[in-house]
Chain A
Amino acid sequence: MSTQTLTARVRPAAATRWSRRAAGVLVFAALIELAARTGLVDRKFLPPATEIVGRAVTLAFDPVFGGHALTSLLAWAIGLGLATLIAVPLGLLLGSVPIVDAATRSVVEFLRPIPSVALIPLVALVIGTGLQLRVTLVVYASLWPILYNTMYGLRGVDPLAKESLRSYGFGAAAVLLRVSLPSSAPFITTGVRLAAGVALILTVSTEIVAGRGEGIGVFIFFAGIAVPARMIDILAGVFWVGLFGVLVNALLVAAERRAFRWHHVRLGEHS
């Protein structure tokens, strides 16, 4: 009897991977720079990349912009957190009680395709345009990926794993909590990661449409309606939103890799 050693799939070293990504970013930035400097695009509409980044760095030290950023971050985090707290238990319920799933399916299928942005006027009328508007819409939009991934994960739970625990006399609730939930955790986490992106989009677009108060979207909105429009501020704001999105995604991917090694091994990805 020997211990099987799992050989790692040959992945490029971290340094190589990072240098490739950095090269992609640099080429993209160089193209923008070139387009603006050569006059291919009017600099009023697309300033050179160096100027955008320079403005973004200046903004980072601007307390007013910091206030906008913090407000957006708050709406994003509360919205995503609430969506997770609602969608995971709901997914567990729908995924494990077929009657409830069947009874609610048509309502769910009706609600899901409604673009959240279309709900902004309605929600704004009902509950006002403050933080509550952003949070509500973020929750609404980011609910779906988490809900669907939770239900999908539950469908994949091995019946034999459930039976194993059941054979020791554990009831349905214990099996759900101790087998079904951990077994679907990798899918749920992927759902949260997808939802994090959706939440970011919703936070900024709700702010832009609402057009008042604080938030990066509001900052972008006012830069846009100024005469002449402050294109560099718009793009610097977009730069920070994009960078934040990339960072959150990378963090969550790293967390998934660490926490769910058993899952990736099972799928045959020896990573």
Chain B
Amino acid sequence: MLEIDNLSHVYGGGSPNAHHAIEGLNLSVAEGELLCIVGPSGAGKSTLLRSIAGLISPTGGQIRIEGNVVRQTPDNLAVVFQDYSRSLFPWMSVVDNVALPLRRKNMDKRQRREAAHEALESVGLAGAERKYPFQLSGGMQQRVAIARALAYRPALMLMDEPFGSVDAQTREDLEDLVLKVRGHHKMTIVLITHDIDESVYVGDRVVVLSKAPAHVVGDLKVELPTPRDQISTREHPDFVHLRAEVGRLVRGHAAV
């Protein structure tokens, strides 16, 4: 579904303080997979995500989505950013925020509203349509951002530290929300996080990146019983074992 070949990206190429964010990164994600990417902070995770989304052009290598080389922002893709308060449009009601990207699709106003309503319902926000983002809590705002991505029905959903700015309880709720909605919508999800436990809890597969310049240093399959449960999954011996494994990989390569 998603193939990344020998990707590299250099910021400020040519200058003496050029920053090599990514170098020689190879990765392939299967259709319908939920892949978590973890790595030490500053590892170039966001650079990777922005390259996949076509928001920046990597300086080397190639990214293909469903066989098509990414040159601009692909139209079968949606991104959920960490900072919901900045990525939602504060001058628009919740329903208008969710419906706006659907203008790219062949849908009339009524269809857009219906799709937005349905997506909001699936994230537990039925009834909040007429509210404005600033009238909602952080967790609810991030639900709106997720609903906006879902309504678009992307083949690939990218999530950049989506739960990094909410409290622990909300974080668990949102993790479960992602697991729930992926069951309803058949799509591939790539979720970037720096939280090792989260990556094991949510993912089908966890890929560990090295510190910058980033490349893949670990690729682990997560075979935990489904549906996942915040209490029992996290005490499962396999979970404990996997999180230790991922932790060692992250740490080992984060050490100076």
Knowing A168-B73, A168-B101, A169-B104, the reply to whether A160 touches B87 (Cβ < 8 A) is yes
Distance in angstroms from B109 CB to nearest chain A CB is 15
- In the bound assembly, the distance between CA atoms of A163 and B53 in angstroms comes to 10
- Whether a CB of chain B sits under 8 angstroms from the CB of A164 is yes
Interface residue ranges of B36-88 to A (CB < 8 Å): 53-55, 72-75, 77-79, 81, 83, 86-88
A interface, over-half SS: helix
Stretch binding the partner chain, chosen from B129-137, B205-213, B239-247: B129-137
List the B side residues contacting A127 at CB < 8 Å: none
* Residues of A near any B CB (own CB < 8 A): 1-4, 6, 158, 160-161, 163-170, 178-179, 182-183, 185, 260-263, 265-266
- Whether a CB of chain A sits under 8 angstroms from the CB of B173 is yes
List the B side residues contacting A2 at CB < 8 Å: 137
Knowing A1-B140, A178-B100, A266-B134, the reply to whether A169 touches B90 (Cβ < 8 A) is no
Instruction: Count residues on chain B whose CB falls below 8 Å from chain A CBs.
Output: 34
Instruction: Tell me which of A4, A167, A182 contacts B91 (CB under 8 A).
Output: A182
List the A side residues contacting B74 at CB < 8 Å: 169
- In the bound assembly, the distance between CA atoms of A160 and B89 in angstroms comes to 10
Pairs across A and B, CB under 8 Å, 11 listed: A4-B135, A163-B81, A164-B88, A167-B79, A168-B78, A183-B91, A260-B91, A262-B132, A263-B90, A263-B91, A266-B90
Knowing A1-B140, A163-B55, A164-B81, the reply to whether A170 touches B104 (Cβ < 8 A) is yes
Inter-chain contact A164/B79, CB cutoff 8 Å: yes
- In the bound assembly, the distance between CA atoms of A166 and B170 in angstroms comes to 28
- In the bound assembly, the distance between CA atoms of A261 and B86 in angstroms comes to 16
- Whether a CB of chain A sits under 8 angstroms from the CB of B163 is no
- In the bound assembly, the distance between CA atoms of A166 and B77 in angstroms comes to 11
Inter-chain contact B55/A160, CB cutoff 8 Å: no
Output the nearest chain B residue to A159 by Cβ-Cβ distance. B86
- Whether a CB of chain A sits under 8 angstroms from the CB of B24 is no
